[in-house]
Amino acid sequence: MKKLICAIFLLVSFGVLAQTADVAFKSGCDKLQQKNYKGAIAEFNIAIKIKPNYAEAYYNRGFAMANIQDYNNAITDFNKAIQLKPNYTSAFSDRGSAEASLQIFDAAIKDVNHAILLDPKFANAYYNRGHIKANMRDIKGAIADFSQAIMLDPTLSDAYFFRGTFNMDMQKFDLAISDFGHTIELCPQTVYAYYFKGIAEFKLNQYKNSLKDLDQTIALNPQFADAYYDRGKTKQALKDNAGACSDWINASKLGNKDAEGMVIKFCK
C-alpha cells in the first residue's frame, strides 16, 4: 500500500510540475505578444527548468533572444528545440534567420530550405529566405520569396512592405505603390509605408497622392525630418512655394542638411 501511495504521489507531483511549466510557458508567450522579450525569456527559463525537454519553450526563448539581437544564444535554443523535435519547421526557419543576422549565409539558406522542404506551404520560411537573399544582394530572389510568402499568407504585411522597398530599388514604382498600399491596409500605423508610397508617387509625378501620403507620414511622426523635406519638394511641384519653404525650414530644424540648401536657394 505504501508503494502505491508513493507512486500516486509521484504521478501527482509530476502532473503539478508539468502544469507549472505550462503556466510559465503561457505567460512567456503572452509577454512575447506584448514584445516584452526579456520578460518572456524569464518565463521560458522557468518552464525549461521545470521541464528540461520542453521543445516549444526552447524555441520561443530562442525567438525572444533573436528579437533582442542575442543571435548566438538564439541559435543555441533553436538547436535544442530541433534536437528534441527534429521536424520543428519554425525552429529551422528562425535558426536560418538568426544565422543570417550573423552573416552565416550558407547555413542560413540551408536551414530555411529545410524548413520549406518540411512544409512547402510555410509562408514565414519564404519570408525569412527573402530577407536572407536580400542580405546576399539577390534582390530578384528576395522579391520572388516575398511574393510566395504573400501568396501563401496574404496577411503578411511585412512581406508586402519589404517587397515594396525592393521594387523601389528596381524603380518599379507602380508595384511599390501597390505593395505599400497593402501594407497600409493591413497595418495603418506603418509610418514608412506612407513615406515610401509618397516617394514612389512623386517619382511618377502623382503629386497630389504624394502630398496626401506625406501628410499622413508627418501626422504619424511629426519629428520625421526627411518627410518634411520630401513634402516640400512635392509642394514645390504643386506650385505651393510658401508651403514648400515652410516644410524645408522645419526639415532643416530637425537636422536635414539637404533642406538647408533648399531654403537658401528657394526661400529668400
| Per-residue pLDDT tens digits for 132-142 | 999 999 999 99
| Report field, pTM of the whole predicted structure over 0.85 | yes
What is the pLDDT at residue 18?
A: 54
Q: Is the pLDDT of residue 6 over 70?
A: no
Section 193-221 average pLDDT: 98
Section 132-161 average pLDDT: 97
Query: What's the number of CA atoms in the CB half-sphere (13 Å) around residue 217?
Result: 24
- Burial class (CB within 10 angstroms; exposed 0-12, middle 13-18, buried 19+) of 264: exposed
Whether the Cβ atoms of residue 64 and residue 41 lie closer than 8 Å to each other: yes
What single-letter amino acid sits at 158?
A: D
* Dihedral (CA of 261, 266, 267, 268) sign: positive
Long-range pairs for 253-260: beta carbons < 8 A, 24 or more residues apart: 254/223, 254/224, 254/225, 254/228, 255/225, 256/225, 256/226, 256/228, 256/229, 258/229, 259/225, 259/228, 259/229, 259/232
What is the pLDDT at residue 254?
A: 97
Alpha carbon distance, N-terminus to C-terminus of the chain: 99
268: confidence class by pLDDT, cuts 50, 70, 90: confident
Place of cell 539577390: 138
Which is higher by pLDDT, 18 or 231? Answer: 231
Section 238-262 average pLDDT: 97
Place of cell 533642406: 259
Whether the Cβ atoms of residue 93 and residue 62 lie closer than 8 Å to each other: no
Q: What is the largest CA-CA distance in the chain?
A: 99
194's grid cell: 506612407
How many Å apart are CA 24 and CA 28, to the nearest integer? Answer: 6
> 18-86 has which CATH code?
1.25.40.10
Neighbours of 45 (CB within 10 A): 14
What is the pLDDT at residue 152?
A: 98
Which positions ≥6 away from 257 have C-beta within 8 Å? none
11: confidence class by pLDDT, cuts 50, 70, 90: very low
Long-range pairs for 36-41: beta carbons < 8 A, 24 or more residues apart: 37/64, 37/65, 37/67, 37/68, 38/64, 38/68, 40/64, 41/65, 41/68
Which is higher by pLDDT, 6 or 89? Answer: 89
Name the CA dihedral angle for 169, 171, 172, 173, rounded to a multiple of 10 degrees. 100
